[in-house]
Amino acid sequence: MTPSILELGYLGFEVSDRERWKRFASEVIGADVADGPCSTTRLKIDDAPARFILSYGPANDLSYAGWRVESASDVDAFSKHLKVHGVSHHWASDDDLEIRGVLRALQFRDPEGNWHEVYAAQPKASSPLQSKLVSSGFVTGNGGAGHVVFEADDYPRMIEFANKILGVKLSDNIYLQPAPGVKIEVSFFHANERHHSIAVAPRAPVPGPKKRIHHFMVEVGQVADVGRARDRCLSFGLPVVMDIGQHPNDQMISFYAHTPSGFLVEVGWGGVKVDEESWKAQAFDRVSNWGHRPFGALPGEGGGVPAAAVEVA
């Protein structure tokens, strides 16, 4: 039997501006920032060794997504699962294990070339993180680090990857029609009580360099900490791309801002929790119940979510 993925445990980013990212992580997100092995930087938001890991290079994009399973033997069983499905993979090096602070991990690519890792965790640190800026703390626990939204050139193959390889479960879909005859489907998948740990959207035809991900999300414990994070983004000089609003599917009240690497971060509060026994996947026809307007939009300019700036939950 294929072992279940329990959570999105960590994300690795390759970033070019070390100092700005470190300041962004500590002064905007409110993470604890520490030097990691092999010249990396660890961002802690709870008692895990690192929820976000920075390495340094020109990519300014996601390097890898880490998916936790229960035990080292489950990692071995996942290797068999990958073999059955013809997914080539290899074991993480000792350096990679040390960088992530994990016991055992295997690494493989999805159809878009994004790296994923299935790992077994080290025992957690003894003292939970107390963020100096986020008084309510970050919502992780059974829901894992947060969520990540991939942009896909071949959307059906990525959906198949989520279903068959990762084995995450469909939470719901959002169907959009940004222009006559143009239809977009976004799919959201859960691995635990968090509404989605991963979502997949067709790549939007926007100017600028292609990014592997649209955004990642961290959840805070009080809605006031969403507002405070928004203030900190503006004070830091980072563009708020989509202002505060609420998604219809995960009910998250959130805003989106540019990270120093160009992809987005979503800071949210109040996401619904999935009860696997009773959950029924639904279909939605909008991205937001309210808000999520382009920052600074005047009344009438940003009603709902404009098709040209579709954000995905």
* Binding residues vs Fe ion (CB under 5 A): 217, 266, 313
CB atoms under 10 Å from CB of 89, counted, come to: 16
Select 62 or 313, whichever has its Cβ closest to Fe ion.
313
Q: Do 161 and 212 contact (CB within 8 A), yes or no? A: no
- Collect all residues with Cβ–Cβ distance below 8 Å to 72 and sequence separation of at least 6: 103, 104, 120
Select 48 or 313, whichever has its Cβ closest to Fe ion.
313
Least gap, CB of 312 to Fe ion (angstroms): 7
Least gap, CB of 147 to Fe ion (angstroms): 6
* Residue 6, both tokens: 């329990």
Listed residue (185, 177, 213, 210) closest to 198, CA to CA = 213
Select 106 or 149, whichever has its Cβ closest to Fe ion.
149
Q: Do 243 and 224 contact (CB within 8 A), yes or no? A: no
Q: Phi-psi category of 208—alpha, beta or left, where left has phi over 0 and alpha has psi -120 to 50? A: left
Least gap, CB of 229 to Fe ion (angstroms): 14
Least gap, CB of 143 to Fe ion (angstroms): 13
Distances (CA, A) of 17 to 21, 52, 61, 198: 6, 16, 12, 26
Select 29 or 75, whichever has its Cβ closest to Fe ion.
29
Least gap, CB of 306 to Fe ion (angstroms): 18
Select 46 or 266, whichever has its Cβ closest to Fe ion.
266
